[in-house]
Amino acid sequence: MTIDIGGPLLLVGAGKMGSAMAAGWLDQGLAPDALFIQDPAPCENAQKLICDYALVAGANPPLPAEPVIIVLAVKPQMMTDVLPPLKKKAGPQTLFLSIAAGKNLASLAVLLGAAQPIVRAMPNTPAAIGQGMSVACSNEFVTADQAEHVITLLSAIGEIAWINDEAQMDAVTAVSGSGPAYLFALTECLARAGMHQGLDEQLASQLARVTMEGAAALMRHSTESPAVLRRNVTSPGGTTEAALEVLLGEEEGLAKLMDKAISAATKRSKELSG
Protein backbone atom coordinates (compact mmCIF):
# COMPACT_ATOMS: atom_id res chain seq x y z
CA MET A 1 0.00 0.00 0.00
CA THR A 2 1.21 3.50 -0.86
CA ILE A 3 -0.42 6.64 0.49
CA ASP A 4 -0.57 9.42 -2.07
CA ILE A 5 -2.96 12.31 -1.50
CA GLY A 6 -1.60 14.34 -4.40
CA GLY A 7 0.33 16.92 -2.41
CA PRO A 8 1.64 17.93 1.01
CA LEU A 9 0.03 16.79 4.25
CA LEU A 10 0.34 18.97 7.35
CA LEU A 11 -0.09 17.38 10.79
CA VAL A 12 -0.75 19.93 13.53
CA GLY A 13 -0.10 18.34 16.92
CA ALA A 14 2.29 15.42 17.39
CA GLY A 15 1.19 14.04 20.74
CA LYS A 16 0.40 10.37 21.27
CA MET A 17 -2.43 10.22 18.74
CA GLY A 18 -0.80 12.56 16.23
CA SER A 19 2.50 10.70 16.25
CA ALA A 20 0.69 7.34 16.07
CA MET A 21 -1.13 8.52 12.96
CA ALA A 22 2.08 9.82 11.38
CA ALA A 23 3.82 6.51 12.06
CA GLY A 24 0.97 4.63 10.43
CA TRP A 25 1.06 6.83 7.33
CA LEU A 26 4.82 6.52 6.93
CA ASP A 27 4.70 2.75 7.49
CA GLN A 28 2.03 2.53 4.79
CA GLY A 29 4.18 4.33 2.26
CA LEU A 30 3.55 8.04 2.65
CA ALA A 31 6.64 9.83 1.32
CA PRO A 32 8.46 11.58 4.19
CA ASP A 33 8.90 14.72 2.09
CA ALA A 34 5.11 14.94 1.78
CA LEU A 35 4.55 15.10 5.55
CA PHE A 36 5.04 18.27 7.58
CA ILE A 37 4.58 18.41 11.36
CA GLN A 38 3.80 21.53 13.34
CA ASP A 39 4.00 21.01 17.09
CA PRO A 40 5.53 23.10 19.88
CA ALA A 41 6.79 20.13 21.91
CA PRO A 42 6.80 16.79 20.04
CA CYS A 43 6.64 13.73 22.29
CA GLU A 44 9.33 11.03 22.31
CA ASN A 45 7.55 9.00 19.64
CA ALA A 46 7.28 12.04 17.39
CA GLN A 47 10.93 12.95 17.93
CA LYS A 48 11.94 9.46 16.80
CA LEU A 49 9.81 9.79 13.66
CA ILE A 50 11.31 13.18 12.93
CA CYS A 51 14.85 11.83 13.29
CA ASP A 52 14.22 8.57 11.42
CA TYR A 53 12.49 10.15 8.45
CA ALA A 54 14.09 13.63 8.44
CA LEU A 55 10.66 15.22 8.55
CA VAL A 56 10.09 18.96 8.37
CA ALA A 57 8.85 19.63 11.88
CA GLY A 58 8.91 21.99 14.83
CA ALA A 59 6.93 24.74 16.56
CA ASN A 60 6.99 26.95 13.46
CA PRO A 61 8.45 24.94 10.57
CA PRO A 62 8.47 26.22 6.99
CA LEU A 63 5.08 25.13 5.69
CA PRO A 64 3.97 24.36 2.15
CA ALA A 65 1.54 26.70 0.47
CA GLU A 66 -2.00 25.32 0.35
CA PRO A 67 -1.52 21.81 1.82
CA VAL A 68 -3.87 19.22 0.37
CA ILE A 69 -4.89 18.13 3.87
CA ILE A 70 -4.34 19.68 7.29
CA VAL A 71 -4.85 17.22 10.15
CA LEU A 72 -5.78 18.85 13.45
CA ALA A 73 -4.56 16.69 16.34
CA VAL A 74 -4.40 19.34 19.06
CA LYS A 75 -6.52 19.72 22.17
CA PRO A 76 -9.93 21.35 21.58
CA GLN A 77 -9.10 24.36 23.76
CA MET A 78 -6.15 25.19 21.47
CA MET A 79 -8.27 25.49 18.33
CA THR A 80 -9.03 29.21 18.57
CA ASP A 81 -5.29 29.98 18.67
CA VAL A 82 -4.17 27.38 16.13
CA LEU A 83 -6.72 27.73 13.35
CA PRO A 84 -6.50 31.40 12.24
CA PRO A 85 -2.84 31.14 11.10
CA LEU A 86 -3.57 27.80 9.43
CA LYS A 87 -6.52 29.29 7.59
CA LYS A 88 -4.13 31.76 5.98
CA LYS A 89 -1.96 28.88 4.70
CA ALA A 90 -4.90 26.87 3.42
CA GLY A 91 -6.49 27.17 0.02
CA PRO A 92 -10.25 27.01 -0.61
CA GLN A 93 -9.91 23.29 -1.44
CA THR A 94 -7.63 22.39 1.46
CA LEU A 95 -9.32 19.67 3.52
CA PHE A 96 -9.22 20.04 7.30
CA LEU A 97 -9.39 16.71 9.16
CA SER A 98 -10.02 17.24 12.88
CA ILE A 99 -9.67 14.57 15.55
CA ALA A 100 -10.28 17.02 18.40
CA ALA A 101 -13.02 15.70 20.69
CA GLY A 102 -15.93 18.03 21.32
CA LYS A 103 -15.38 20.29 18.30
CA ASN A 104 -18.24 19.80 15.87
CA LEU A 105 -18.32 20.71 12.20
CA ALA A 106 -20.24 23.93 12.80
CA SER A 107 -17.78 25.24 15.39
CA LEU A 108 -14.85 24.44 13.10
CA ALA A 109 -16.57 26.19 10.18
CA VAL A 110 -16.89 29.36 12.26
CA LEU A 111 -13.09 29.46 12.55
CA LEU A 112 -12.23 28.17 9.07
CA GLY A 113 -14.97 29.55 6.84
CA ALA A 114 -18.43 28.34 5.94
CA ALA A 115 -17.38 26.71 2.64
CA GLN A 116 -14.15 25.04 3.82
CA PRO A 117 -14.09 21.24 3.37
CA ILE A 118 -14.00 19.73 6.88
CA VAL A 119 -14.02 16.17 8.19
CA ARG A 120 -14.45 15.35 11.85
CA ALA A 121 -13.10 12.00 13.03
CA MET A 122 -12.89 10.12 16.31
CA PRO A 123 -10.03 7.58 16.47
CA ASN A 124 -9.04 5.72 19.63
CA THR A 125 -5.77 4.87 21.33
CA PRO A 126 -5.20 1.39 19.77
CA ALA A 127 -4.31 3.43 16.67
CA ALA A 128 -0.85 3.50 18.24
CA ILE A 129 -0.41 -0.16 17.22
CA GLY A 130 -2.40 0.04 13.99
CA GLN A 131 -5.55 -1.46 15.54
CA GLY A 132 -7.60 1.65 16.13
CA MET A 133 -11.24 2.29 15.37
CA SER A 134 -12.07 5.61 13.70
CA VAL A 135 -15.44 7.08 12.80
CA ALA A 136 -15.72 10.06 10.47
CA CYS A 137 -18.32 12.51 9.21
CA SER A 138 -18.02 15.53 6.92
CA ASN A 139 -19.68 18.73 5.83
CA GLU A 140 -21.21 19.09 2.38
CA PHE A 141 -18.11 20.68 0.87
CA VAL A 142 -15.96 17.52 1.07
CA THR A 143 -15.56 15.90 -2.32
CA ALA A 144 -15.62 12.17 -3.03
CA ASP A 145 -11.85 12.22 -3.66
CA GLN A 146 -11.21 14.00 -0.38
CA ALA A 147 -13.35 11.47 1.47
CA GLU A 148 -11.29 8.68 -0.10
CA HIS A 149 -8.09 10.36 1.10
CA VAL A 150 -9.49 10.44 4.63
CA ILE A 151 -10.42 6.76 4.43
CA THR A 152 -6.88 5.97 3.26
CA LEU A 153 -5.28 7.94 6.08
CA LEU A 154 -7.48 6.52 8.84
CA SER A 155 -7.27 2.97 7.46
CA ALA A 156 -3.51 3.16 8.01
CA ILE A 157 -4.14 3.14 11.78
CA GLY A 158 -6.97 0.60 11.94
CA GLU A 159 -10.57 0.31 10.81
CA ILE A 160 -12.86 3.17 9.80
CA ALA A 161 -16.61 3.71 9.64
CA TRP A 162 -18.31 6.70 8.02
CA ILE A 163 -21.54 8.23 9.34
CA ASN A 164 -23.86 10.81 7.78
CA ASP A 165 -25.44 12.04 11.01
CA GLU A 166 -22.95 14.03 13.09
CA ALA A 167 -25.23 13.75 16.12
CA GLN A 168 -24.12 10.12 16.39
CA MET A 169 -20.54 11.23 17.15
CA ASP A 170 -21.39 11.68 20.84
CA ALA A 171 -22.35 8.01 21.14
CA VAL A 172 -19.35 7.04 19.00
CA THR A 173 -17.10 8.90 21.42
CA ALA A 174 -18.72 7.11 24.36
CA VAL A 175 -18.39 3.63 22.82
CA SER A 176 -15.14 3.54 20.85
CA GLY A 177 -13.34 6.75 21.77
CA SER A 178 -13.54 6.03 25.50
CA GLY A 179 -13.97 2.28 25.07
CA PRO A 180 -10.33 1.20 25.60
CA ALA A 181 -10.48 2.66 29.12
CA TYR A 182 -13.40 0.38 29.94
CA LEU A 183 -11.38 -2.71 28.99
CA PHE A 184 -8.41 -1.47 31.02
CA ALA A 185 -10.69 -0.85 34.01
CA LEU A 186 -12.22 -4.32 33.68
CA THR A 187 -8.71 -5.81 33.63
CA GLU A 188 -7.86 -3.91 36.81
CA CYS A 189 -11.03 -5.14 38.51
CA LEU A 190 -10.43 -8.74 37.42
CA ALA A 191 -6.91 -8.70 38.85
CA ARG A 192 -8.11 -7.15 42.11
CA ALA A 193 -10.84 -9.78 42.45
CA GLY A 194 -8.23 -12.51 42.00
CA MET A 195 -6.16 -10.98 44.78
CA HIS A 196 -9.24 -11.01 47.04
CA GLN A 197 -9.36 -14.78 46.46
CA GLY A 198 -5.77 -15.24 47.63
CA LEU A 199 -3.67 -14.76 44.49
CA ASP A 200 -0.55 -12.63 44.84
CA GLU A 201 -0.59 -9.32 42.97
CA GLN A 202 1.88 -10.29 40.26
CA LEU A 203 0.08 -13.51 39.34
CA ALA A 204 -3.37 -11.90 39.49
CA SER A 205 -2.22 -9.08 37.21
CA GLN A 206 -0.62 -11.52 34.76
CA LEU A 207 -3.73 -13.71 34.62
CA ALA A 208 -6.05 -10.76 34.09
CA ARG A 209 -3.94 -8.99 31.49
CA VAL A 210 -3.00 -12.00 29.36
CA THR A 211 -6.55 -13.34 29.52
CA MET A 212 -7.98 -10.04 28.30
CA GLU A 213 -5.37 -9.76 25.56
CA GLY A 214 -6.02 -13.31 24.38
CA ALA A 215 -9.80 -12.96 24.49
CA ALA A 216 -9.64 -9.70 22.50
CA ALA A 217 -7.39 -11.32 19.90
CA LEU A 218 -9.72 -14.35 19.67
CA MET A 219 -12.72 -12.06 19.17
CA ARG A 220 -10.89 -10.12 16.46
CA HIS A 221 -9.99 -13.24 14.49
CA SER A 222 -13.25 -15.13 15.01
CA THR A 223 -16.28 -14.94 12.73
CA GLU A 224 -18.54 -15.62 15.74
CA SER A 225 -20.32 -12.84 17.58
CA PRO A 226 -19.24 -11.91 21.13
CA ALA A 227 -22.45 -13.49 22.41
CA VAL A 228 -21.60 -16.83 20.75
CA LEU A 229 -18.01 -16.70 22.00
CA ARG A 230 -19.32 -16.07 25.52
CA ARG A 231 -21.67 -19.04 25.30
CA ASN A 232 -18.83 -21.23 24.02
CA VAL A 233 -16.94 -20.63 27.27
CA THR A 234 -19.98 -21.11 29.49
CA SER A 235 -20.62 -24.73 30.47
CA PRO A 236 -23.97 -25.38 32.15
CA GLY A 237 -23.52 -25.50 35.90
CA GLY A 238 -19.87 -24.51 35.65
CA THR A 239 -17.70 -21.78 37.10
CA THR A 240 -18.21 -19.34 34.21
CA GLU A 241 -21.98 -19.63 34.49
CA ALA A 242 -21.78 -18.93 38.22
CA ALA A 243 -19.81 -15.76 37.58
CA LEU A 244 -22.01 -14.59 34.68
CA GLU A 245 -25.13 -14.99 36.80
CA VAL A 246 -23.65 -12.30 39.01
CA LEU A 247 -22.31 -10.12 36.21
CA LEU A 248 -25.37 -10.28 33.95
CA GLY A 249 -28.24 -11.52 36.09
CA GLU A 250 -28.42 -9.08 38.96
CA GLU A 251 -30.61 -5.96 38.89
CA GLU A 252 -27.55 -3.72 38.59
CA GLY A 253 -25.59 -6.13 36.41
CA LEU A 254 -22.99 -5.33 33.78
CA ALA A 255 -25.48 -4.68 30.97
CA LYS A 256 -27.33 -1.99 32.93
CA LEU A 257 -24.12 -0.52 34.29
CA MET A 258 -22.73 -0.26 30.76
CA ASP A 259 -25.92 1.43 29.58
CA LYS A 260 -25.55 3.98 32.37
CA ALA A 261 -21.85 4.47 31.64
CA ILE A 262 -22.34 5.03 27.91
CA SER A 263 -25.25 7.36 28.62
CA ALA A 264 -23.05 9.41 30.96
CA ALA A 265 -20.19 9.57 28.45
CA THR A 266 -22.56 10.52 25.62
CA LYS A 267 -24.09 13.28 27.75
CA ARG A 268 -20.64 14.63 28.59
CA SER A 269 -19.62 14.58 24.91
CA LYS A 270 -22.68 16.68 24.07
CA GLU A 271 -21.79 19.14 26.82
CA LEU A 272 -18.22 19.48 25.54
CA SER A 273 -19.38 20.13 21.99
CA GLY A 274 -21.62 22.93 23.18
Can you give the pLDDT at residue 64?
85
Question: For position 177, what pLDDT does the model report?
Answer: 94
- For residue range 46-73, list pLDDT tens digits in order: 888 888 888 888 888 888 888 999 999 9
Per the CB < 8 A criterion, the answer to whether 159 and 104 are in contact is no
Q: Where do runs of H (alpha helix) occur along 61-138?
A: 79-89, 105-112
Architecture of domain 9-169: 3-Layer(aba) Sandwich (3.40)
Alpha-carbon span 118 to 86, nearest angstrom: 13
SS3 74: coil
Q: pLDDT for 89-111, tens place per residue?
A: 899 999 999 998 878 999 999 99
Q: Are 121 and 134 within 8 A, CB to CB?
A: yes
Mean pLDDT, residues 238-253 taken together = 90
pLDDT over 90 at 179, yes or no: yes
Please report the pLDDT score of residue 117 as a whole number. Answer: 97
How many angstroms separate the CA atoms of 124 and 165, rounded?
20
Q: What is the pLDDT of residue 35?
A: 94
pLDDT value for 205: 98
What pLDDT, on the 0 to 100 scale, is given for residue 241? 96
The reply to whether 9-169 and 178-232 are identical in fold is no
For the chain, helix, strand, coil in percent to 5 are 55, 15, 30
Angle, helices 254-272 vs 239-249, to 10°: value is 50
CATH number of 178-232: 1.10.3730.10
pLDDT of residue 42 exceeding 90, the answer is no
Q: Where are the domains of the chain?
A: 9-169, 178-232, 234-274
What pLDDT digit, counting tens, does each position of 113-159 carry? 999 999 999 999 999 889 999 999 999 999 999 999 999 999 999 99
pLDDT-based confidence at residue 274 (cuts at 50, 70, 90): low
Query: pLDDT tens digit string along 193-243?
Result: 999 999 999 999 999 999 999 999 999 999 999 999 999 999 999 999 999
pLDDT reported for residue 51: 86
Residue 185 in this model has a pLDDT that exceeds 80: yes
Return d(Cα 13, Cα 246) in angstroms, integer: 45
Q: pTM of the prediction?
A: 0.90
Task: Give me the pLDDT at residue 1, please.
Answer: 62
Region 8-31 average pLDDT: 91
Cβ proximity of 156 and 25 under 8 Å: yes
